[in-house]
Amino acid sequence: MKNDKIGMITRTAVLLAVVVAVQMAGRSLPYSNFIVGPLVNMSILVAAMTAGIGGGVAIAILSPFTSLVNNHAPLATALLLYAPAISVANLILVIVFYFLYSKNKYAGIVLGSILKFGFLYGSINLFLNIFQFPKFAQKLLAMFSWPQLVTALIGGIIAIPVITRISKTIGK
């Protein structure tokens, strides 16, 4: 039991480190949203299925805040205010995927991705109506619209073979 908890904590920590490393590397890549996004989503889903729902939830909540460390100052200000909404969207993805995985993992990916996208798109519009970020409004809308659906779907597709391989290794 003790070794299992240590393994769960270790897998969560390693996957959180992967998220941070990918976010840092993404700063220098063109179109990094389509590289970083899928890898972050994959890490969240892999954590949920190999370290338990707590691991997935931890990374889902922390990843938007670790991303702030890696963003440029003006946009980071807008994202700081929006980071809790991103955390909620990540939670939606991880919870839907986790509970549907044993029934139909692909339905979990699709439904979780659609709900994440819907939440982000709706909340970014509400966010921009409350807070005035005219300089960044178009960039924020572009970041939190259809690319979120695409990156969540890709991350889920990548996650399945990783989960399968890790599960075989750890005996789940």
**Number of structural domains the chain divides into:** 1
Quote the distance between the C-alpha of residue 108 and its chain's center.
Answer: 14
- The domain spanning residue 57 has which CATH number? 1.10.1760.20
Overall average pLDDT of the 105-126 stretch:
95
Which residue range(s) make up the domain with 138? 2-170
Please count the other Cβ atoms lying within 10 Å of the Cβ belonging to residue 132: 8
Contact by Cβ (8 Å): 31, 154: no
pTM for the whole structure: 0.90
- Per-residue burial over 46-80, b = 16 or more CB atoms within 10 Å of its CB, e = otherwise: bbbbbbbeebbbbbbbbbbebbbeeeeeebeebbe
Q: Which of 30-39, 75-84, 125-134, 148-157 ranks highest by mean pLDDT?
A: 148-157
Count of residues making up the chain: 172
Pick from 89, 111, 91: which is nearest to 156 by CA? Answer: 111
Per-residue model confidence as pLDDT tens digits over 21-55 = 998 888 787 777 889 999 999 999 999 999 999 99
